Structure 1
Amino acid sequence: MLLIGTDAPQAHIPLEVRSGRHDQPYAIKTQLGWAVRGPVTDTTTQKSANVNFQQSADVLLQQQLEKMWTTDFDDKVKVERNSMSLEDKKALNTMNSSLRYENGHYKLKLPWRDEKAVMPNNLTLAHARLEHLKRKLARDQELHKMYTASVTDYIQKGHAQEVTHIESDSNRVWYLPHHPVTNTNKPGKVRVVFDCAAKYKGISLNSQLLQGPDFMNSLVGVLIRFRQEPVAIAADIEAMFHQVRVEDLDCDALRFLWWPEGDMTQQPRCYKMLVHLFGATSSPSCTAYALIRTASDNAHMYKPEVVNTVKRNFYVDDCLKSVSSDEKAIELAADLQSLLRRGGFRLTKWLSNKRDVVESIPESERARSIMNLSKSDSSPVDRALGVQWNVEKDELKFKVQLSEKPITRRGILSIVSSIFDPLGLVAPVTLRAKAIVQNLCRQKLSWDDPIPEKDTYEWKQWLDTLPYLESVSVRRCFKPQDFGTLKNAQLHVFCDGSQLGYGACVYLRLKDEKNLISCSLVAGKSRLAPIKRHLFQDLNFQEQLSLPGFIR
């Protein structure tokens, strides 16, 4: 065995050790990664061996845990978040140089890491995954029917087409495995998800694509602006990713196998997607870029408020906007539909807390009176706690939907990490659950070990109280009804810290010309104190929660 880098001992300091029985190898994690050491069988005889690498589920759980610790307070300043890396600049250059407007839609190249890279022929992987899909669909006729309808819809709408010439001039021909994903909130529908992360010979489509700049607005910012004025409107872009086309030559990297008309008795044929995919690492950036260009390219035809609404009041494909009067809302809704149609986007599922505004929208374009604000930018998830907008009462409410999970570190983390409270309106409640998770980490229990009786009791007690949050409501608009002309506005920030954690909340104090005063909770934040903390760290909590840091 050859050891490289022994002159840099800090690179080999064990960060974590995982051992088996006394006669088994053990794994050591250093700054260079994981290494396995220990006895092997007789090495005098030459034998062939297969080596397989898989990312441990425990590693993924640890990443999920770290994400939960850092969700509430974003320590990055705004300038740092908005700055672009060299890769982001390269992706943006690709978007700028390749952007075309064709048949009512924008068309963009895929932002490749290396334009000259050659991708291996992964057709065998696609066939193997298709066989797995065939067995799954054969067991569920209803799923087969819905999945076939979804693929057929792609073809009929021009989002996909059959490949008639298998040979291609492109050096990046790639076949994407695909599978169905259902959402309990959308019964009767199934989404076709293309596995852009599927690897063949160490390469996947996502590994060859640049992610691109983050053009997404802050969800907290969008929600706070949504609460500014008394008249609220909301809408959704239908199939947003599929409204942005992909450059023709790049479509060969988006091939997939499917049976004609879903008939699994026939030989599968080759198709290719012509649009940006849900699941491709570059799709959020490319589609957001096309949306922004729709607004800027047509800015001369619309009022600044219409253009700014597209740029500042969308989170992914959801539009959330508040204005001062019904008339402004009706005009804005019409202008937004007109503007986005120029980019090939259709705004639908309209909602408003004002009847006149709703009646100005065609009935086929309206949504129901409850809007789920628990947006997920990935696959559909079941939220243990989610936020909803009750349109009729014009209130923000909480929806509790608990699923059965084992009382282990794994099961508890699954529930706690599914809590969605972006404004931190019930942060004191969710902090208690995070403290339970932290305490289990402190005890160094394995992910699936039974937890101590004391912690079990505390966890069950927290679960029993969670449904009471459904009775909690917060007024959407900061201004109460019949509030007059705004005379004065103040932000009041309260913060505190302890050995358990630290938190802050912001209230908005408004005064009108009649000296009527209204106070509203804007947002709250909380974070657990680190398991390993320095002596003076508690004294720094107040400094960390200073007004500039929290408001950003």
Structure 2
Amino acid sequence: MPMPPVTDVLKALESDFSERSYEDKFVSQDDVRFVQLLCGTIRQREDGHYEMPLPFKDNNPPALPNNNRLATIRLEHLKKKLKIHTQYFDHYKAFMEETISNGDAEPAPVSSEGDIVWYIPHHGVYHPRKPDKLRVVFDCSAKFRGISLNDTLLTGPDLTNSLVGVLCRFRKEAMAVTCDIEKMFHQFSVSPEFRNYLRFLWWEGGQLDTEPKEYRMAVHLFGAGSSPGCANFALKYLAQQHKVDYTAASAFIENNFYVDDGLTSVSSVEEAQKLIVEAQELCKSGGLHRHKFNSNQSDVLSCIDPSERATTTGPLNLKPDMTPDGHVLGIQWSIENDTFGFNVVTKDQQPTRRGILSIVASLYDPLGFVAPFVLSGKCILQELCRRGIGWDDLLPEMLAPRWEEWKNGLQMLKEITIPRCYHPPDFGKVVKVELHHFSDASNVGYGACSYLRYKNDED
């Protein structure tokens, strides 16, 4: 077997440096052009939704070849799968009918000779934690004659907030609030003159034995390389537009969202309720629907309709969907106890260098709660590299006990709980905050630890 991709090795070795501050993010000339383009073209429609063009790399839309043949072939392969798997077909059909009926997609006009059109193949993907939830992904990376739609699009600067920053602010105050934006990408429209680049084939009414019809997406779609940048730009643009009228809600949306998930904390129930109401009003003005609200205090949610609340009060996974599949460790927020814990799902792996790398690299602990434990696993991998052990060679006998002990320790992580809030709920008025840092290093690893010290007005 070939060695793992270089990206997998780098992910394991450089995971400690995965977070970058806003100031450290590199901004290219393409990023500047992306922002300038959207600043000059974004507009708000009568229904409140923001509309933006596809941000092409060239000033003029590209003259792409007509790839109808590729889309037709891919559709035939999809048709065979839909006929074999009944549940897959039912979910796919429901997704497409909803997309078309709510205006996210529209029947494509008859193209005239000389019109530039591009067809996007599509396929369905099930959510890894929700086996009944299917999302249709449009394959904007599909190449025809050596080019794809994504090859022509600007992705824009990384406008995503730091996950560590969002989580740290989530721990600051006693009242926690979480929510998300429903179908975030689909809330931002594509300018009509660019929609012919987003054509796709589908059977009207899901009738597989009929001739497929041509449709085109009217919104920024999941699968286009430009969509995350456009959605994040528009979300921050919306917050800036209402900075005066909704000061707190604007700051929440601009700084405390990680893609479509919002997490924040405030000092009182009244402040939390005010923030929720204001944020809903602000988002509504931009055509966005915020829902799945949750809080560690049930009184906080009394200000909104039950349909807007999260359907469960069970532990909330704080793992974004865009993180790689196969995590054996995921941080969770227990809403009832207001603590962080760890969801551990062990996967059978051969005791080889490849298997150890797979497990160690898949640990998800963005705040470093179990960094000392992770370091022990990395040290085993370090020793294998030093000894020149092959990727598929079995673990040497002298290292096997260390590996077994480390694997058994994974299950013990379930017993660890960390209070979400930095200070107790009855701590009183905070008059002073201190941050104390300690660090050390050795030949096998390094470590750093920070202590947050609060002082109240009772001293």
Q: TM-score, normalised by structure 1?
A: 0.78
Q: Distance in 2 between the 1:124 and 1:472 partners? A: 55
Which of 64, 72, 79 lines up with 1:134 in the alignment? Answer: 79
1:255-300: CA deviation from partner (whole Å, max 9, x where unpaired): 1122222222222222111111222211111001111111122233
- Counterpart CA distance in 2 for 1:92 and 1:169 is 31
- Number of residue-to-residue matches in the alignment: 455
What is aligned with 1:143?
A: 88
Q: Which has the larger radius of gyration?
A: 1
Match of 1:157 in 2: 102
**Equivalent residues of 1:170, 1:249 under 8 A apart:** no
1:84 corresponds to 2:27: yes
For 1:205 and 1:406, the matched residues in 2 are separated by 40
Q: Is the 8 A contact 1:168 1:252 kept in 2?
A: no
Gaps of 5+ in 1: 1-55, 516-552
Question: What is residue 13 of structure 1 aligned with on the other side?
Answer: none
C-alpha change, 1:154 and 1:413, in structure 2 (3 Å) is farther
Partner of 2:65: 120
Contact 2:12 2:357 in 1 (8 A): no
Residue 218 of structure 1: which of 133, 157, 162 is its match?
A: 162
Verify the 8 A CA contact 1:235 1:351 in the aligned structure 2: yes
What are the superposed Cα offsets for residues 374-425 of structure 1, whole Å, 9 maximum, x if unpaired? 11336x7242111111111111111111233344444433333322111011
The amino acid of 1:182's aligned partner reads Y
Question: Corresponding residue for 1:192?
Answer: 136
Q: Which amino acid aligns with 1:194?
A: F
1:261-300 correspondence runs (5 A): 261-300=205-244
Question: C-alpha offsets along residues 67-115 of structure 1, whole Å, 9 cap, x if unaligned?
Answer: 332221359665332x521010011111111101112200111111123
Distance 2:66 2:388 in 1: 45
CA distance in 1 between counterparts of 2:365 and 2:113 reads 48
Q: Percent same amino acid among aligned pairs?
A: 43
Structure 2: which amino acid aligns with 1:86?
Answer: Q
Residue of structure 1 equivalent to 2:49: 105
1:357 matches 2:300 = yes
Aligned CA RMSD, in angstroms, stands at 2.1
In 2, Cα distance between the equivalents of 1:417 and 1:137?
Answer: 35
Give how far 1:483 is off. 0.4
Partner of 2:332: 388
In 1, Cα distance between equivalents of 2:271 and 2:217: 40
Map 1:247-326; keep pairs closer than 5 Å: 247-302=191-246, 304-326=247-269
Amino acid at match of 2:374: T
Q: Distance in 2 between matches of 1:438 and 1:201?
A: 44
Amino acid at match of 2:85: D
TM-score (norm 2): 0.93
- In structure 2, the CA distance between the partners of 1:481 and 1:465, relative to structure 1 (3 Å rule), is same
In structure 1, give the amino acid aligned to 2:34. A
Whole-Å Cα distance in 2 between the matches of residues 58 and 90 of structure 1? Answer: 39
Aligned-pair CA distance for 1:373 = 0.6
Deviation at 1:227, TM superposition (A): 0.7
Q: Is the 8 A contact 2:21 2:162 kept in 1?
A: no
Cα offsets for 1:338-386 (capped at 9, x unmatched): 10111111110000111211222211111122221111336x7242111
In structure 2, the CA distance between the partners of 1:258 and 1:414, relative to structure 1 (3 Å rule), is farther
Greater RCO, 1 or 2 (C-alpha within 8 Å, sep 6+) = 2
Report the equivalent of 1:549.
none
Q: Does 1:374 align with 2:319?
A: yes
In structure 2, distance between residues paired with 1:75 and 1:157? 37
State whether structure 2 residue 357 is matched by structure 1 residue 413.
Answer: yes
| Residue 178 (str. 1) matches residue 122 (str. 2) | yes
- Asked if the contact 2:20/2:162 (under 8 Å) is kept, the reply is no
